Structure 1
């Protein structure tokens, strides 16, 4: 079947906004997909609240800023796109390498990427997420797909947003580092006319010192060869160890709780759930929480980048009700404020014991770990 045959009668042009009561925020949820057809079937069968799914493309052309659990070939992407469209769900391909070693600027590299973009365009992909400004402009000039600026472009000011819009961006995924800087979010919203998307559950360290180096490493490890032969991921394990030593860093991380989406409705109606390296049931749990704007369990269940700490810490999500009011007015000078540290001591529990004797112990009861 040719690539141009994937807009069959099953595809709809409806706008599947979430149907929610008047007190909920109408929204578009962009949901991670691990990349194989069976996973997509399970994902779309599990929820009616998915506006779009996104997955990695082939690392042979452009890498991504995350580990790839699956690298679908063009025929597989075409099949999955047709299926998503038949369900009224959009398909987005993520090619957000933060570093390509300059290969995209060579004649050979350009021709390979141009060929791949052309095939994705013919398949009917709705949008492509990229991080490199060159690829933003290339996509905007030569293709019909929406151009999404990745979080790995680190758009955290109105000036950066304006530059990317001038290059042709259709949507900008704002740097999560400013998720709680409402003055910056509002300034970005006032400056550009393109769409904005917020990543709600990434949970990286606030102002992480490893962020640029870590995503450059991923870009080479998950992109065209030669691939680095590394033994482990220094940045990831260092990140985990810092949180174990100083759990208040979990609270400082700029995630957005499901209950707090309403605070962002004047910024955007489009939210992205991170986690395309997770199992479908984990993804669907997030979809349900954010669609319902409520989660009564452990906040750690929803957070992407620190999933390995889920059995180390327990944070009753509803005990964080109201914290957004402090973060909305906070000037982020932590050593003077201390709010997140006090909140961590109040709401973070650790586990003790084993088997049926496991107990949750309040962090504040075992002293300051810093």
Structure 2
């Protein structure tokens, strides 16, 4: 078993993870031109220099660092000349500081990174909702090194998971073990898109995470929904 753990940029975190089978931590700047899977106000407010120092700290403890570029929608800025320049600047900075891997939710970014920055390992994020062998093969054929399996639907569908593993070949599949989303959530895609916009530079304000409000309301109507969620018990890992 290998674990990839969310990073809060606490300098004590890498040492605290030492007793566990953790191979990498993942995180991102609070905002960048392309956004990611968490709103800026959720994230530690660090700059590029602090990120670089933390990557060095992580490496000193024998861990790797995965930077999140996992926005589902980037307003098509990634296809513009100005967007391409910003993307190359960010990727170059991440490569220079020794970031080991990237998480993306875009076949365009996957292909671009593999062509222009082949040193990075690239993981396809959970917000691509990969839940069939055919989808696994698509990402594998486009160069993915890791694929995170759909976090809202198939964690307990063992026959499907086995078929996906066979389709993956040498590509590594990953599960989110502490997910609390409702099983087969109907608004997961909308939620992912809203979260992306909330961490893109230039988007101001304190966004209301309306999808989270709705899902919390549903859970509270029937608390069994907490048990139905796709989390995995520690003793089952």
TM-score relative to the length of structure 1: 0.60
Say how many residue pairs are matched: 230
Measure how far apart 1:105 and its partner are: 0.9
Q: What is the CA–CA distance in structure 2 between the aligned matches of 1:140 and 1:66, rounded to whole Å?
A: 24
For residue 126 of structure 2, the aligned residue among 151, 154, 165 is 151
Secondary structure in 1 matching 2:200? coil
Contact 1:131–1:152 under 8 Å retained in 2 = yes
User: What stretches of structure 1 of length at least 5 have no aligned partner?
Assistant: 1-26, 262-370
Contact 1:141–1:168 under 8 Å retained in 2 = no
Matched, 1:104 2:74: no
The correspondence of residues 25-44 of structure 1 with structure 2, limited to 5 A, is 27-35=1-9, 39=10, 41-44=11-14
1:139-187 deviation line (CA, Å, top 9, x unaligned): 1111111001000111111111111111110111111221111111111
Aligned to 2:146: 171
Q: What is the CA–CA distance in structure 2 between the aligned matches of 1:229 and 1:255, rounded to whole Å?
A: 29
Q: What RMSD, in angstroms, separates the aligned Cα atoms of the two structures?
A: 1.5
Matched, 1:51 2:20: no
Matched, 1:225 2:202: yes
Contact 1:170–1:195 under 8 Å retained in 2 = yes
Measure how far apart 1:71 and its partner are: 4.4
Q: What is the CA–CA distance in structure 1 between the aligned matches of 2:221 and 2:231, rounded to whole Å?
A: 20
Q: What is the CA–CA distance in structure 2 between the aligned matches of 1:42 and 1:235, rounded to whole Å?
A: 33
Matched, 1:190 2:162: no
Q: Which has the higher contact order (CA 8 A, sep 6+)?
A: 2
Contact 2:38–2:198 under 8 Å retained in 1 = no
Q: What is the CA–CA distance in structure 1 between the aligned matches of 2:71 and 2:29, rounded to whole Å?
A: 11
For residue 229 of structure 2, the aligned residue among 253, 264, 280 is 253
User: What stretches of structure 2 of length at least 5 have no aligned partner?
Assistant: none
Q: What is the CA–CA distance in structure 1 between the aligned matches of 2:124 and 2:107, rounded to whole Å?
A: 8
Q: What is the CA–CA distance in structure 2 between the aligned matches of 1:62 and 1:73, rounded to whole Å?
A: 16
Structure 1 pair 224–54 and aligned structure 2 pair: CA distance change class (3 A): same
For residue 189 of structure 2, the aligned residue among 204, 208, 212 is 212
Measure how far apart 1:120 and its partner are: 0.7
Aligned to 2:59: 85
Q: What is the CA–CA distance in structure 2 between the aligned matches of 1:126 and 1:71, rounded to whole Å?
A: 21
Contact 2:71–2:104 under 8 Å retained in 1 = yes
Secondary structure in 2 matching 1:178? coil
